[in-house]
Amino acid sequence: MIVLGIESSCDETAAAVYTTEGGLRSNVVASQKIHTRFGGVVPELASRAHQQTIWGTVSQALAEAGLQAEDVDVVAVTQGPGLMGALLVGLCFAKGFVLANGKRLVGVNHMDAHMYANFIDNPPVYPFLCLTVSGGHTQLTYVKEPFAHTLLGKTRDDAAGEAFDKIGKILGLPYPAGPVMDKHAQRGNPGFHKFPQGLLGEGFDFSFSGLKTSVLYYLQKQGDETAQAAFLKDHLQDVCASVSHAITEVLMKKLEAAMQETGCRTLMLAGGVSANTMLREKARQLAQRSGATLLIPKMAYCTDNAAMIAVTGHMLAQRGNFSDLSMKPFARVNG
């Protein structure tokens, strides 16, 4: 089976080819730089950029795989969650491709795909606990078997990635701030300041809006704008490390509690924030001291990509879970 994966949920236009025998054959991502000047993704601009690049991206993915359109068996496309206009571009393109070439269609849940990105390079293993951490979502999921998911906890407000970006903006860092904070944090002292760790001991849900407010107030206590700038000049790395520590401690403590409750000893990270250096190291330490197996996707499969869509679509197609041309996108996780 040859699966063409298409991803357009936010600001990455991506296409990939995954095959039953050869695994991942190509993985192409066209990133949108236009949003940087606005400090965040502008939905209308994202949709237009997808329209401009999707054909070229798909063509490149097929070319790198050494295939033609007629060689594809199944087109897997992100159905949601995501920006509605962006999703529509990918979905309409996929439907057109399927209709023109007589292929099968599979709609893929973007959050499921982040989890199953762990199976691009690793054989499937069940059950597993997955901590999915991205700009828009933070959730903890127990997966007993393929597509049998139990959502243990999710964010009540800001997701972890969103918190990184918003706090980074407060600190004067460029968008997207998460990777920039990660670099600073690697050279800082995580014990420099104790920021709040939300909802510890209160189940598996997450909350990071209080942390964002705490950082804002902490910075304001340093004085006027001139004094704040001077403070950050001397202590930016330490503040970034302290913020990263507060976020990753919550994530790891929730994951460890879920592991103890379920008895599951296979742990996974997924989503864009799973590229965070401190989070990866703490997850490795947790797995080592608890005797658990830890899977983390390669960096290229952490952020939005089509390889994860293709492999998840392949799994769905193998189970006969096809979609028809009436399939509609959904903007939120609950559809």
Domains 2-117+301-318 and 125-296 share a fold: yes
For residue 325, count other CB atoms closer than 10 A to its CB.
10
Between 175 and 292, the more confident residue is 292
In the annotated binding site, the residues are: 110, 114, 132-136, 165, 178, 182, 276, 304
Contact of 270 with 302, CB cutoff 8 Å: yes
Residue 189 backbone zone (phi > 0: left; psi -120 to 50: alpha; other: beta): beta
User: What residues form DSSP beta bridges with 124?
Assistant: none
Looking at residue 38, its pLDDT comes to 63
Task: State percent of the chain over pLDDT 70.
Answer: 97
Q: Is the peptide bond before 176 cis (omega within 30 degrees of 0)?
A: yes
- Single-letter code of the amino acid located at 94: A
In the annotated binding site for Fe cation, the residues are: 110, 114, 304
Looking at residue 335, its pLDDT comes to 39
Average pLDDT over every residue of 311-332 = 96
Looking at residue 182, its pLDDT comes to 96
Lowest model confidence (mean pLDDT) among 32-36, 70-74, 147-151: 32-36
Looking at residue 46, its pLDDT comes to 79
Best CA proximity match to 306, nearest among 99, 88, 63, 16:
16
pLDDT confidence band for 261 (50 / 70 / 90): very high
Contacts for 124-129 with beta carbons within 8 Å, 24 or more apart? 125/266, 125/293, 125/295, 126/266, 127/262, 127/264, 127/266, 128/264, 128/266, 128/267, 128/268, 128/295, 129/255, 129/258, 129/259, 129/262, 129/264, 129/266, 129/267, 129/268
pLDDT confidence band for 11 (50 / 70 / 90): confident
Please name the residue ranges forming H helices in the chain: 43-64, 84-101, 110-116, 160-170, 177-185, 209-220, 225-262, 277-290, 299-302, 307-318
Residue 293: strand, helix, or coil: strand
Looking at residue 201, its pLDDT comes to 82
Looking at residue 45, its pLDDT comes to 85
In degrees rounded to 5, what are phi and psi of residue 276? -65, 130
Average pLDDT over every residue of 87-109 = 97
Looking at residue 260, its pLDDT comes to 96
Looking at residue 130, its pLDDT comes to 98
Looking at residue 9, its pLDDT comes to 92
Best CA proximity match to 115, nearest among 334, 260, 295:
295
Average pLDDT over every residue of 104-111 = 97
In the annotated binding site for substrate, the residues are: 132-136, 165, 178, 182, 276
Average pLDDT over every residue of 278-304 = 96
What torsion, rounded to 10 degrees, do the Cα atoms 311, 295, 145, 17 define?
0
Q: pLDDT of 166-185, one tens digit each?
A: 999 999 999 889 999 999 99
Looking at residue 42, its pLDDT comes to 78
CA distance 191 to 267: 27
CA distance 270 to 114: 6
Q: pLDDT of 229-252, one tens digit each?
A: 999 999 999 999 999 999 999 999
CA distance 303 to 183: 17
Q: pLDDT of 200-220, one tens digit each?
A: 888 999 999 999 999 999 999
Given the candidates 3.30.420.40, 3.20.20.70, 3.40.50.2000, 2.60.40.10, the CATH classification of the domain at 2-117+301-318 is: 3.30.420.40
Q: Is the pLDDT of residue 284 over 70?
A: yes
Looking at residue 37, its pLDDT comes to 67
Please give the full DSSP string across 153-212, using - where no structure is assigned.
Answer: EEBSSS-HHHHHHHHHHHTTPPSSHHHHHHHHHTTS-TTSS----TTTTSTT-B--HHHH
- The residues spanned by each domain of the chain are 2-117+301-318, 125-296
Given the candidates 3.30.420.40, 3.40.50.2000, 3.30.160.60, 3.10.20.90, the CATH classification of the domain at 125-296 is: 3.30.420.40
Predicted structure pTM score = 0.93
User: What residues form DSSP beta bridges with 203?
Assistant: none
For residue 5, count other CB atoms closer than 10 A to its CB.
33
Average pLDDT over every residue of 57-73 = 97
Average pLDDT over every residue of 261-278 = 96
